Structures are given as structure tokens and as C-alpha cells.
Copies of this chain bind each other. A is one copy, B any other.
Amino acid sequence: MLIYYGYTEKAAEYLLTRNLKPGDRVVLKLRDGSILRGILLPRPELYSTSNIINIKLSNGYNVGIDISKIESIEKEEVAVTVEHGLIETTMEKKQQGNLPRVTMLSTGGTIASKVDYSTGAVTPALKPEEIIEWIPELTDIAVVNTREIMSIFSEDMNPKLWEKIAEEVYRELTSGVSGVVVAHGTDTMSYTASALAFGISNKSAPIVFVGSQRSSDRPSTDAVFNLISAFIVASKAPFAESVIAMHRDISDEYNAVHRGVKARKMHTSRRDAFQSINDKPLAIVNPLTHELKVIGKIYEYRGEKQPVLKARFDDKVALIKVYPGLQGEIIDFLVDKGYHGIVLEGTGLGHASNSLLNTIKRAVENGIPVVMTSQCLFGHVNMNVYSTGRRYLEAGVIPGRDILPEVAYVKLSWILGSITRDLDEVRKLFELNLVGEFNDRHTLDLYPRWYYE
């Protein structure tokens, strides 16, 4: 089978004979008389057998055009110069040994799946040669190695699996790779990215989580752009942090790189679902030009370092959302069941009903650390403003500053599992900014702009 930038058969031949490559600026004249201008994109769907080529129009939208409807197509000007080989049945493109080595660990999720278009079935994982055939650009970025370490949807992720992922990533980092890409389902990606942030310290290179929000009714998946971006970040970013690389917005122009402990999935389906909360994103990446621009504050730099693995996570920790009517008996149950830690997703500046105060006191008196975060998500917890907050502080609750509830949960699980269960020690560790999970300086532009037009 002829494969050319993910295009196959007729579409591949069509582009190949016209010497057109992804990144080329093209003018199409269609048989219905319309004229389209845009940039040719790589075929986003893996081995699609359709006769459609994908064009990114100047207004940002991507359209798929059936080649039978094209009267003529011409190159306007070369927007990006990239050199790729033609790929026949087996991988002919040599991996270039002088490039950085990047390992992709596949854990499952939408991004690690491929669709068999004849049956509609989803095959669980991509093999190294498959991903390179699909996205030949990757071999211009790195010497690619991939391993499947598990194959699950991310809603089934749990603290024990975080430990396995941490061990595998650690193994790669100590083997001297320039970066690790972790393909992961998006549902709980920010939890796992946070777990890796805490579980491996003194990181030598970036750990880049990447996923895909594709839905089958869209003409294009976001996986190609996200994967290219993830490999760019893994191979050359100056930071050595656990990050998430996903679409910056709904165009296919830039990917955003978020610090894992400051990122959150904020939309159920949009490709730009992941956004940084209470901190600037670390970087933006252009997957066509391979440009990586750091826009945030780096917490840990890449370097010749010996990573340290401390990645045990306590699964007797609960994340409890506070709401009007929350009954103390739920907290009491956790205490009675011997839970080791509780994170509250409180209201406003870090509040819960005064009716729960004694229940929380009892938990703390039982040696259980209780951390307060805010369901507002944006802004700092400040428990000194109102009397309720002060009462909870007096009861021994640990204020979570501007940490996300989900990240507080991961951090507490990590402290209790990997370091200590002594309440005073836990408190001290929780109040330390270990991997950039706290940001004390909020600028006005950390809150997004809402539309009112």
C-alpha cells in the first residue's frame, strides 16, 4: 500500500504526482467553480482509505476535499520547508541517529487507538512502526521508540497505575533519553501528569503527556498535531517537568504546553479542553514549523541529572466536594474506615459549613490531614478573611493556596504514600511548593475572557 504523509492510495498518488507536501500553501480550483486557498495538512486519520485531502483555510477552519471535485491544484509558495521521504509498505525512512532519542509510552486512551475503517472496530494500541508511518514528521524530530505499558481508558486509571507509569518513565529517563512522551486518555490525564510531577524528582528531561479529543463526526482528529508537538517538547524543551501538550485553541496552529500540576480538562469535547488554571502555560509549540516558544516560568530545567523515583501513592485518600447539605456522616465514615487523608473542595475562599466543623476537628484529632481547596478553581484559598475560614484553620485544616482540588488530592496521596503519615510532617510538606503546584503571584490575565457580544 502506498502511504504518503498518512494519505493512502488515490489521495497519496494524487499528491505525490503533483509533488505536494503537508505545509505547502495551495490554491484549489474546484469543479463547481469555487476557489480555495490554504495549507495542505497531513491526513489526520490513520490510513484512511478515502480520497479526501485536508486543507487548512486561512480563516482557521480545516476542510476535507474529495480529489474528484478538484479541477486543479497549485502550489502558491512554500510556507514550511520540510523534507520527507516516500513511504512504501514497510518503513523505508531511516531513523536519523543524530537526533534526540524520545520514547513514547502508551497507556491507552483515544490517542493510542486506531480505527479499522473496514470494520469500525478500535484496535487498542499503536506500534512504533505504525506511528511513524502515520506521522513521518516524527522522524525529523527524534529517534522514536515506543512501548505499550498498559492499555486502558483513563477513567480506569488509579494510584497503583500511576506507580507503574512512574517506574516506566523513570527507567526511560535514567536510560538517557532526551524526553518521554506518555500517550494517555484525556479524562484523568492531569491527575497522572501531577502524579509524575511528584513521583519523580530531579528530572533530567521533560515528561510530556499527550492525548486526543477526536470525535468520529469531525473531519479531522487532533492526534497528529498533538503528537508532533509532544515529540518537539520531549526532544528539545528546556524544562524538565511533567507537562501536558494539547491544542491551544480550536485552530490547528499552536499546541499549548501546560505544567501538569496547573492544568485541567475544562471541556468535555473541545480539542482545546486542557488549559492552565492559576498559572501561565509553560510554552506554545507550532507543529508545522517545529518552533517552541517558552511563555511561562520554568520550575525545573533539563540537565544531566540523576532522577529520583519516589512514587508510592496512598489510595486511602478522599477528595470530597463541599455543597449545601453535605452531611458530616460522610466525613465520619472516612475517619471510621481508616482513611489517611482528606481533600475538601470547599466553597469560595476555602469554606465549608460551620455545621461540619466538629466532624473535621475529629478527623484532624485522629491524625488525618485535611486540605482545603476551592471549587471556584480560579484564585487563592484565603481562610483568614472570614470567621468560618479562621475556625477551620484553628481546627487544623491545611489551606491549599491556589492549588487545584485534583492536584491537592494527588499531592496528599503522594506525601502519604511516599514520604510520611506524620500529621506535622505532612502539613510542612504540603505547604512547600515542590514542583510549581502553587503560584502565589496571580496576574489579571490568568482569568480567561468571557464573551458578552
Contacts and interface: CB of A to CB of B under 8 A. Distances in A.
Interface string A383-400: 001111000000000000
A188 B405 CA distance: 17
A268 B157 contact: no
A117 interface: no
B448 A256 contact: no
B155 A388 contact: yes
A22 interface: no
Contacts of A295: 452-453
Give chain A's interface residue range (CB within 8 Å of chain B): 35 or more
A5 interface: no
B156 A374 contact: no
What is the copy number of this chain in the assembly? 2
A266 interface: yes
A270 B374 CA distance: 14
Given A153-B386, A325-B315, A333-B330, A187 B379 contact: no
A268 B452 contact: no
A223 to B, nearest CB: 15
A409 interface: yes
Nearest to A314: B325
B452 A265 contact: no
Nearest to A377: B266
Interface in A257-308: 265-270, 272-273, 275-276, 280-281, 284, 295
Contacts of A86: none
Main secondary structure of the interface of A (DSSP, over half): loop
A267 B378 contact: yes
A353 B315 CA distance: 14
Interface stretch (A237-245, A418-426, A439-447): A439-447
A317 B256 CA distance: 39
Contacts of A153: 351, 386-388
A24 interface: no
A226 interface: no
Nearest to A215: B385
A191 B379 contact: no
Contacts of A445: 451, 453
B452 A324 contact: no
A418 to B, nearest CB: 15
Contacts of A452: 248, 254, 256, 281, 284, 295
A406 interface: yes
Given A379-B270, A447-B270, A159 B256 contact: no
Given A267-B378, A275-B450, A155 B352 contact: yes
B348 A268 contact: yes
A82 interface: no
Contact of A324 (B159, B256, B322): B159
B333 A444 contact: no
Nearest to A275: B450
Nearest to A444: B250
Contacts of A448: 448-451
A162 B324 contact: yes
Contacts of A319: 321, 323, 326
Contact of A379 (B267, B318, B376): B267
Given A155-B348, A256-B452, 13 more contacts: A153-B351, A154-B347, A155-B388, A162-B324, A249-B450, A266-B378, A268-B350, A268-B380, A269-B382, A318-B330, A330-B330, A448-B448, A448-B450
10 contacts: A162-B324, A185-B348, A192-B324, A268-B348, A268-B350, A269-B382, A275-B450, A319-B321, A330-B334, A446-B451
**What are the 8 A-B residue pairs with the smallest beta carbon separation, nearest first?**
A268-B379, A448-B448, A187-B348, A155-B351, A187-B347, A445-B451, A267-B378, A321-B321
